[in-house]
């Protein structure tokens, strides 16, 4: 429900923020459904991500000032609101000259993409990565961050009526190859690997049979990182993949990474600086977004749950 609530009083280490825009992510929906591992105590304000402008700061706040732009440094901040008062340590400053949709969608998907490309395999220019759900927010960020680093991407998407349009859009972002799940088990894959090496890293957001097929193309001793399960089916791995190819299966959850690195400000700063620089150079853009006024939140939530919607619903606040 859309409700008017009283703003909390501004404490010494608090920041009064006017929210500008906040997207609806799958994790937000899962939190509302009560199926996410991290749930806010009720009653709660939805939204894990977004960007706001600082209006006022408490007496003890040194790093932020009115006019600065901020994004959440933690999850479950409750960004689907017009204004809020938040503790300083829950916010990260970002450049206010970047496009508002880039800032609003920065703290979840691009960070997830960045960490998965950096933390599991040491990739060099010319190496390749294979990923499914390539048209998702994370998928689009993986394509662009990899492209900026000279890493080739093989991008798997579900077949759909407007497939040529989607392929064109992902290629425009810098994808090297875009294939459907069905193609994973076809001879055309051999053609792809004539021009680029087999991937050492696979990124899985789907699960089920197509993920098993994707795993077959991984190099021996390669790593598959699972960060989502959109098919709601388990991951089936042939015993031979473990024994004869020694593949590694890992998992990634951005929320956990933030908890683990809460005291490691340098890692966070390096990641955010790199992503902001890519945005400012035009090498990392916001995913396709549909901007929705806050009062139309019901339609936005319904659209966010429809299959094959390649556009992220963003609440304008």
Between the CA atoms of 73, 78, 81 and 82, what dihedral angle is there, to the nearest 10 degrees?
Answer: -30
Strand, helix or coil for residue 234: coil
What does the alpha-carbon distance between residue 86 and residue 92 come to, in Å, rounded to a whole number?
A: 11
Per the annotation, the verdict on 227 as an active-site residue is: no
What does the alpha-carbon distance between residue 143 and residue 299 come to, in Å, rounded to a whole number?
A: 29
Nearest of 122, 124, 118, 129 to residue 152 by alpha carbon: 129
Question: To the nearest 5 percent, what fractions of the chain are helix, strand and coil?
Answer: 35, 20, 45
Of the listed 14, 36, 104, 213, which one is catalytic? Answer: 36
Nearest of 308, 246, 228, 257 to residue 114 by alpha carbon: 257
Active site residues: 36
């Amino acid at each position: 429900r859309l409700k008017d609530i009283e703003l909390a009083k501004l404490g010494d280490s608090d920041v009064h923020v006017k929210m500008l825009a906040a997207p609806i992510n799958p994790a937000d929906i899962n939190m509302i459904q009560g199926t996410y591992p991290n749930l806010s105590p009720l009653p709660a304000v939805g939204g894990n991500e977004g960007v706001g402008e600082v209006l006022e700061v408490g007496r003890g706040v040194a790093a932020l000032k009115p006019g600065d732009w901020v994004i959440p440094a933690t999850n479950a901040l409750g960004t689907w609101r017009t204004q809020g008062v938040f503790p300083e340590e829950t916010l990260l400053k970002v450049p206010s000259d970047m496009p508002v949709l880039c800032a609003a969608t920065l703290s979840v998907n691009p960070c997830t993409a960045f960490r998965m490309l950096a933390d599991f395999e040491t990739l060099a220019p010319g190496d390749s990565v294979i990923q499914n759900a390539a048209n998702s927010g994370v998928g689009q960020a993986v394509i662009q961050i990899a492209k900026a680093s000279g890493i080739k991407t093989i991008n798997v998407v579900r077949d759909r009526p407007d497939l040529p349009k989607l392929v064109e859009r992902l290629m425009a972002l810098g994808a090297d190859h875009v294939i459907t799940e069905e193609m994973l088990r076809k001879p055309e894959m051999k053609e792809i690997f004539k021009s680029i090496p087999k991937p050492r890293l696979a990124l899985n957001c789907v699960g089920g049979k197509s993920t098993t097929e994707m795993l077959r193309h991984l190099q021996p001793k390669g790593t598959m990182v699972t960060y989502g399960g959109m098919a709601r089916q388990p991951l089936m791995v042939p015993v031979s993949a473990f024994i004869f190819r020694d593949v590694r299966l890992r998992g990634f959850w951005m929320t956990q990474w933030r908890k683990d690195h809460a005291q490691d400000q340098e890692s966070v700063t390096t990641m955010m600086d790199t992503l902001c620089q890519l945005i400012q150079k035009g090498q990392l853009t916001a995913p396709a977004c549909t901007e929705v006024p806050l009062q139309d939140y019901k339609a936005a939530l319904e659209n966010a749950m429809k299959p094959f919607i390649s556009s992220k619903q963003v609440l304008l606040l």
